[in-house]
A and B are shown apart, each in its own frame.
Chain A
Amino acid sequence: MARFVSLAAGAVLLFAGGAAFAQSAKLTDPQIAHIAYTAGVVDIAAANQALKKTSNPQVKAFAEDMVRDHTSVNDKALALCKELGVTPEDNDTSKSIAKQGEEERAKLESLSGAAFDKAYAENEVKYHHMVNTALENTLIPNASNPKLKSLLETGLKIFKGHEEHAKTLAASLK
């Protein structure tokens, strides 16, 4: 019933796996662009932390992949926003993603060696799953501009690849 009420109210539940929160009203393209961009920035920050802390070659290679791919996708997103005359707009969802990312990095900062590697890889699985779920169920369906929608769809395929890659990495670290 509660679920029905929130859906009926047009609430959009994002990142239900982490700190769940609701965003009332339909997301706009400038907000969706901001959310997708922020999600990339958070993963790049996590990867940069891993590059500083890890001495495992597989973890290092994975983190380098994350920096490279998320930077490419974000550059593409910025270029598209410019082309469309869209200014990404900060919003509660973006703020929540950024805050969760910071908290996760603070947690990981206290770990080192194999414990860090394992926690980073496991978090990457969780994080990509969360972002992919949000893209699939919320961001892509709500995007109005076909070019933005298409970029988000390509992003989803890339990030699904990351999720699978992270799973293999996490399993190898057990």
Chain B
Amino acid sequence: MTCRDAMFAALACGSIAAFASVADAAIVRVTISNIAYAPAKIAAHVGDTVEWDNKDFVVHTATARNGAWDVNLPAGKSGRVLLKKAGKIGYYCRFHPNMKGEIDVSAK
């Protein structure tokens, strides 16, 4: 095992331990590249966290249409939101409203 592998293993174990207490909570990842959310539609459960990873060179947002959250996503950075309620929630980018996404949140 190389030094890097060892570090990775340690980090991975660390995160597993961290999440063991929150039963079944998952992180659902959405990549932003080329001015689009991918995947644009995701399914998740209450208690899950959505993480957007902005790989573009411009700032984006993930802004819930119902006003529940507004995540600022600087270029090359990521941002998260914890899903608290079941239901379908549409979101978009305030700066580039041609960017659209949807999360189908089901009860636990």
**Same assembly:** yes
Q: What is the chain B residue whose CB lies nearest that of A161?
A: B96
Number of interface residues of B (CB under 8 A): 15
Q: How far is the CA of A120 from the CA of B58 in the complex (A)?
A: 23
Binary contact track B62-106/A, C-beta < 8 Å → 1, others 0: 000000000000010000000000000000011111110000000
Chain A residues contacting B57 (CB-CB under 8 Å) are 72-73, 76
User: Contact at A161–B34, with CB atoms within 8 Å?
Assistant: no
For the A-B complex, the count of residue pairs with Cβ-Cβ distances under 8 Å equals 41
User: Contact at B34–A157, with CB atoms within 8 Å?
Assistant: yes
Identify B99's interface contact among A65, A69, A76, A161, CB under 8 A. A161
Identify B95's interface contact among A65, A73, A76, CB under 8 A. A65
Chain A residues contacting B42 (CB-CB under 8 Å) are none
Interface of chain A, helix or strand or loop or mixed?
helix
Q: How far is the CA of A52 from the CA of B95 in the complex (A)?
A: 21
Chain A residues contacting B93 (CB-CB under 8 Å) are 161
Q: Does A53 contact B (CB under 8 A)?
A: no
Q: Does A168 contact B (CB under 8 A)?
A: yes
User: Contact at B35–A165, with CB atoms within 8 Å?
Assistant: no
What's the minimum C-beta distance from A4 to chain B, rounded to whole angstroms? 34
Q: How far is the CA of A39 from the CA of B44 in the complex (A)?
A: 42
Q: Does A154 contact B (CB under 8 A)?
A: yes
User: Which 5 pairs, one residue from A and one from B, show the smallest C-beta to C-beta distance?
Assistant: A161-B96, A157-B35, A161-B98, A164-B97, A72-B58
A residues lining the B interface (CB < 8 Å): 65, 68-69, 72-73, 76, 154, 157-158, 160-162, 164-165, 168
B residues lining the A interface (CB < 8 Å): 34-36, 56-59, 75, 93-99
